[in-house]
Amino acid sequence: MAPSHALRCCKRVLNWVPVLFINLVVGWSYYAYVVELCVYTIPNNAERISYLVIFHIFLFMFIWSYWKTIWSKPAGPSKAFGLPRAEKELFEKEDRAEMQQQILKKVAKNLPVYTCTAGGAIRYCDHCQVIKPDRCHHCSTCEMCVLKMDHHCPWVNNCVGFSNYKYFVLFLAYASLYCVVICATVIQYFIKFWTKQLPDTHAKFHILFLFFVASLFFISILSLLIYHLWLVGKNRTTIEAFRAPVFTNGPDKNGFSLGFSKNVAEVFGDQVKYWIFPVFSSLGDGHSFVTRLVHIDPEQANNILQQNGKSSSPVEGETNPATLGNDVQHTAENSKDKIDGGHTVSVTVESEP
């Protein structure tokens, strides 16, 4: 047990190495830009001040979104997705997989779960002992199930999912703009040092290297940013882009796509004024999602929540994601309404946006 614990501790420490590397690069870029370029190289005060103002604005937004991505705790499934005590005891005593599935199906029919495994089974996490909500996956690094998991990013040492996906996209955007600002303002002095129009000083190495590093980072980050903006427009996670979610009628890579504007609003929110800031404004609760095939009336879901008195922990105190109660009965049959205990779940089929 002791060696295993020591290895886990070492692994956790090593996981911070990429984050430390990024912070060292950013720290050096700050010194190279502010001190070597603005203080020692630029002769004009007006140019120096304007460069410093623009630089610090984008640096602040970059650091803000980066650290929000790092320190936002991944959101996990609420207790409503765990097995009730009686069903849990039966599940643990049962050795037959078929009977275990029957127990899971009995519990899952009262939950807003519309996706399944490739074989049609209920998605259940043996480690966390919960029925996985749609788009939820278990992260072996974080050792937990993460709502709307996109991927585990070593550069932030955190899972990117429902609680911080907006922050992650903004981090990529502001990192790209940060590199653009550096390249656009440094290039003229880079050329002057390269062509020996300026004397060789201690600033030469920093400015030449700063331009090369910013250019390389911009190219790599921009490609990743474009990919994730494409995912936002399609309302897919990285996992879903590689493996389409499976509904009762089969795999559907566009199952969660509601049209470009609604897809963007799901990540960034319905108030444009909050889009550029790394504050939580994503729509939904992370447990259930409107799909092209299934639609749950949010007002009815909230009423059921209030009746059951169930809720999940807010994301960093910024949201209060709700847990759908166990009175919602659902089906994947097309164009049907099913009424169970007075609660209606409407199922609709729409064409691909």
Tell me the catalytic residues: 153
Kindly report the three-state secondary structure assignment for every residue of the chain.
Answer: CHHHHHHHHHHHHHCCHHHHHHHHHHHHHHHHHHHHHHHCCCCCHHHHHHHHHHHHHHHHHHHHHHHHHHHCCCCCCCHHHECCHHHHHHHHHCCCHHHHHHHHHHHHCCCCCCEECCCCCCCEECCCCEECCCCCEEECCCCEEECCCCEEECCCCEEECCCCHHHHHHHHHHHHHHHHHHHHHHHHHHHHHHCCCCCCCHHHHHHHHHHHHHHHHHHHHHHHHHHHHHHHHHCCCHHHHHCCCEECCEECCCCCCCCHHHHHHHHHCCCHHHCCCCCCCCCCCCCCCCCCCCECCHHHHHHHHHHHCCCCCCCCCCCCCCCCCCCCCCCCCCCCEEEECCEEEECCCCCCC
| Closest C-alpha among 350, 283, 96 to residue 104 | 96
Cβ–Cβ < 8 Å for 325, 287: no
